[in-house]
Amino acid sequence: MAVSSQRGCGETMSQNTVDWSGIYKQALEQGGLVVPYREVGPQYGLEEVEAAVEAMQGDILTQGPFLKAFQDEFAEYVGTDFALGVSSCTGALEIATQLLEIREGDEVIVPAITFIATVIPLLRVKAKVVFADLDPETHLISPASIEAQITDRTKAIIVVHMNGMPCDMDPIMDLARKHDLKVIEDCAHAMGAEYKGTKAGAIGDIGCFSFHTVKNISTLGEGGMLTTNDAEFARLIPLSRWVGMDLYEDLEKYWIPFFYDIRSVKGGVPYNFCLGEVQANVGRVQLKKLAWMNDRRREMAARITAGIADLEEITVPSVPDDRVHSYHLYPVLYDGSGYGTNRDHFMDVLFHEFGIKTAPHYLPPYKFEIMREMGYPEDLCPEAERIYSQLTNTPMNMSLTDEQVDYTIESIVKTVEKLRSGNTKPEMNFS
């Protein structure tokens, strides 16, 4: 098999012939993986090191000029009036919950499959999380299901641009305007994704981004950003992210009566979710790299999609023509019910026989103990239940070579063929 590998910003390795059978046999004998599911996201280089050192040599290491520059550049990139950095996307969601004055008893609609961080801020204020089911084609929150869940207690909708594909925002925004609801975009997976020519995070009332280590750009492992066009929100976010500190101005003596006050935010107690200068300056470098890193993700995704297109047992979410996907994840659904196999068998053969680790996230949040203890039933959304039962994610990160991508495709094909024929002995015993 003659293949090539892309490295860095377009640098290409020379073509060579790869004996994958020997490689995976040796790796498995040594207890290793040919294609691990690595918890890595973007690529770092000397540019990030230089940016970190530059910020470390500044007079202040938090909430200084590099954060301001990162915020301005991020707002320009996304296309919003304001962007404000925070320590994580979860922190961004906490602040968004505070800005929208979501309180105990209020209802907030969220998708039935998402990371638990989407709902944690709602649980903290004792709001009622209402789960909307998923669209069977895109596997994103269904506008029809949202509409069916709206009551007179509904306060907001949180959409999650899962895997890097934006939700169908026009009908969702129409529903929000009709019922006077606010919309939060959870863009943790969707840095650089677009809906009808508009960047994710510039459509709803507030966008929340993640720069966690696995995301499409990262600020040294943790970080986040809020985006908005609302000037009042932009005024309050700095208070909410930094203990409500409001510096006095134009005092005759700078220390009388004191040089700052502590204020509440929308009647709520503020947080401490600051993003440091070193992280911000690294984020500026990462933002400049985002376009080619996302192009590489799309290239790998297109390669996989083409390679598994003829497998009836495998489906992937459809990508409408009006979306630009950023492919934070590459999910596949396996349905082997016709011959008595399931997603777990599929994962098991890929792992034990081909050395490829996949990951079946995300579990519907209402299935976790924390939500069951609050009285949420385990089976709420039938389409989400079906999707999760078949769902796993193939490795998708910037460290993958073309050889590994091709090997993943070949291994998926061979795994399906083995499961069809019964010519395999999975390590795990499933009932």
Could you tell me the residue ranges of all domains in the chain?
2-40+291-421, 46-286
Query: In the 8-state DSSP scheme, what is residue 225?
Result: E
Q: Cα–Cα distance between 269 and 409 in angstroms, integer?
A: 51
pLDDT at 429: 45
Q: Using one digit for the tens of pLDDT, what is the confidence trace for 155-203?
A: 999 999 999 999 999 999 999 999 999 999 999 999 999 999 999 999 9
Q: pLDDT above 70 covers what percent of the chain?
A: 91
Q: Any residues with CB less than 8 A from the CB of 94 and at least 6 apart, and which?
A: 120, 121, 124, 271, 273
DSSP 79: T
- Alpha-carbon span 239 to 43, nearest angstrom: 33
Judged by DSSP in three states, 158 sits in strand
Token pair of 132, please? 């909307």
In the predicted structure, residue 17 carries a pLDDT above the cut 60:
no
pLDDT value, residue 43: 84
Taking 80 as the threshold, does the pLDDT of residue 70 lie above it? yes
Is the pLDDT score of 2 beyond 60?
A: no
Extended strands (E) in 292-406 = 314-315, 323-324, 330-334, 391-394
CATH, range 2-40+291-421: 3.90.1150.10
Q: Confidence band (pLDDT; 50, 70, 90) for 423?
A: confident
Question: Which residues make Cβ contacts (< 8 Å) with residue 70, sequence separation at least 6?
Answer: 85, 275, 280, 281, 283, 284, 287
CA distance 228 to 76: 12
pLDDT in tens, 343-383: 999 999 999 999 999 999 999 999 999 999 999 998 899 99
Beta-carbon neighbour count of residue 193 at 10 Å?
Answer: 23
Mean per-residue pLDDT over the chain, rounded? 92
Mean predicted confidence (pLDDT) in 128-150: 98
Q: pLDDT band at residue 430, thresholds of 50, 70 and 90?
A: very low
What is the per-residue burial (b if ≥16 Cβ within 10 Å, else e) of 239-252?
bbbbebbeeeeeee
- SS3 label, residue 256: coil
Least confident segment among 27-41, 69-83, 177-191: 27-41
Cβ-based neighbour number of residue 223 at 10 Å: 29
Q: Can you name the residues that pair with 336 across neighbouring β-strands?
A: 341
Is the per-residue pLDDT at 209 higher than 70? yes
Share of the chain above pLDDT 90, in %: 85
CATH topology for 46-286?
A: Aspartate Aminotransferase; domain 2 (3.40.640)
Phi, psi at 409, each rounded to 5°: -60, -50
SS3 316: coil
Rg, Å, the chain Cα set: 23
Lowest mean pLDDT among 23-27, 71-75, 329-333: 23-27
- pLDDT for 39 equals 76
Query: What integer is the mean pLDDT of 217-239?
Result: 98
Residue that wins the pLDDT comparison between 336 and 3: 336
Give yes or no for a contact between 316 and 305, defined as CB atoms under 8 angstroms apart. Answer: yes
Q: Using DSSP, state whether 351 is helix, strand or coil.
A: helix
SS3 content of the chain, % helix, strand, coil (to 5): 40, 20, 40
Answer whether residue 101 shows pLDDT above 80.
yes
Beta carbons of 216 and 328 less than 8 angstroms apart? yes
pLDDT at 15: 39
Q: Which residues of 367-390 are buried (b: 16+ CB within 10 A; e: fewer)?
A: eeeebeeeebeeebbebbbebbeb
Token reading at 125: 């204020």
Going from the C-alpha of 390 to that of each of 113, 151, 303, 344, the distances in angstroms are: 13, 32, 21, 8
Say how far apart CA 322 and CA 103 lie, in whole Å.
35
Does 151 score more than 60 pLDDT? yes
Q: What DSSP state is assigned to residue 11?
A: E
Helix (H, G, I), strand (E, B) or coil at 200: coil
Which amino acid belongs to residue 223?
G
pLDDT at 431 (0 to 100): 35
H/E segment holding residue 365: none
* pTM, rounded to two decimals: 0.92
So what's the pLDDT on residue 30?
Answer: 60
- For range 14-30, the mean pLDDT: 59
Q: Which of 285, 301, 42 is nearest to 163 (CA)?
A: 301
Distance CA 168, CA 159 (A): 9
- What gap in Å lies between CA 195 and CA 187, rounded to an integer? 12
Whether residue 125 contacts residue 104, with contact meaning beta carbons closer than 8 Å, is answered with yes
